[in-house]
Chains A and B, each alone.
Chain A
């Protein structure tokens, strides 16, 4: 069994409103495609520190909790972070598979979460973009399809390096993480353009770091209402509840 995970809220506190937000994201992904189920999903963002890794890892936990065999791959070959979240060693990983043709089964780490497996990035290569654009990467992802129910791929920011745009062409769908109050309008527009240029299938945007007090952020209150019992917020919740119901039905 792997080391305990401290940072993952979905694992440590599954009943929290935030875990519920991740579960709702999972549901939305599952229902976003009917004909062709989304198996390989790339998660990227416009800039660094918008919450790609956090989103990937928490989302992976909720998928694993729902019984899907889940694999997280860290394709950020420049600043890998996934191994830090799961406390797994990052001595060998994706780059070993791509470069040395090592058996991937031996590279995948188990985690403290049942059904959840992690493939770290491995040694940092000098040419990350070329490596990710290689046929080896493409066939490797194809090969994984049969082994796992869902494969979540963490990547470098699409607005900074081309890696994510390359990867978006070999996956079923791409999720764009946008940090509220951080990402600029023009930046987000450009990210969408970059993904559109390579005909990426953008499933949708995950709005991260949402200020719970800002206008229109009724999702939070919904979770709050069902997640915890707090008498002081009753008035506010009632006001928001009506609108929340409408939104849920629209989804």
Chain B
């Protein structure tokens, strides 16, 4: 595609800016409606724990690179522990949940550690903010017990209990509106370009010259509407 074609295409799109705008606005409205009425808001609650495990290293004062590395390895272990059936079933019985499988609980949980420290964060996701906080707190409690018994961790302390989240983390209304707007604009541009591509009519004097090599002896503009 030559630069002239692109220029013509841009001109073509510029002339139809209203169609693109309308499409973008419609998609934004649809995105807003879907976000507000159709998507169930999801809440996240975090609890943080301090996990200390004595390393094999004899010199505890010197935190070597290997120790840090081992620490990040351990976070993976903790993650699996948090997501284990043992923890999940303990949570279910603790909270007295019914109709919930251990898998359902595991899916709601995620574990991260903060910047290579020994502090790990347990995040619970639920459509009910209070439930999310409850699960996060219960998991932290269960983990505290299990980690010591299963993983021979020296000490686990709960730093922060999960609080009931005020705002859902999902859906993000603003993000969805922006995405809807951009999508609407892109889709309408695509359709217009396609229509333009399949439009094989003569439009300009140059077209006439190009296709039938007959001189254009007159050009009559569109009559203004009365």
Complex contact A183–B201 (CB within 8 A): yes
Assess A180 versus B214: contact at CB under 8 Å? Given A207-B219, A210-B221: no
- Return chain A residues, CB-CB under 8 Å to B220: 18, 21-22, 25, 51, 55, 206-210
Chain A interface extent, by class: 35 or more
Residue pair A212, B206 in contact (C-beta under 8 Å): no
Number of chain B residues close to chain A: CB under 8 A: 26
Main secondary structure, interface of B, reads: mixed
Closest-by-CB residue of A relative to B15 is A213
Measured CB to CB, the closest approach of chain A to B84, in angstroms, equals 67
**A-B pairs, 5 with minimum CB distance:** A25-B218, A204-B217, A28-B217, A206-B218, A204-B215
B222 at the interface (CB under 8 A from A): yes
Query: CB of A248 within 8 A of chain B?
Result: no
Binary interface encoding of chain A residues 28-64 relative to chain B, with 1 for a CB under 8 A from any of its CBs, else 0: 1100100000000000000000010001000000000
Q: Which residues from chain A contact B199 at a C-beta distance below 8 Å?
A: 181
The answer to whether B217 touches A211 (Cβ under 8 A) is no
The verdict on A215 contacting B202 (CB below 8 Å), with A185-B211, A205-B214 known, is no
Interface residues of B (CB under 8 A from A): 7-8, 11, 15, 199-208, 211-212, 214-223
Asked whether, in the complex, the Cβ of A219 is within 8 Å of the Cβ of B217, the reply is no
Instruction: Give CA–CA (A175, B8) in the complex, Å.
Output: 29
Is the beta-carbon distance between A186 and B200 smaller than 8 angstroms? yes
**Cβ–Cβ contact A205 & B222, under 8 A:** no
CB distance from B18 to the nearest CB of A (A): 13
Residues of B within 8 A of A188 (CB): 202, 208, 211-212
Chain B nearest CB from A250 CB (Å) reads 11
Residues of B within 8 A of A117 (CB): none
Determine whether the beta carbon of A9 is less than 8 Å from that of B221: no
A215 to B6, CA, bound (A): 12
Q: Is A166 an interface residue (CB 8 A)?
A: no
How far is A244 from B217 in the complex, measured between Cα atoms in Å? Answer: 15
Query: Pick the contact of A217 from B8, B201, B217, B221 — CB < 8 Å?
Result: B221
Given A189-B212, A209-B222, A213-B15; A203-B202 close (CB under 8 Å): no
With known contacts A181-B201, A213-B15, A24–B218 Cβ distance under 8 A: yes
Contacting residues, chain A, for B208 (C-beta < 8 A): 178, 188, 205, 207
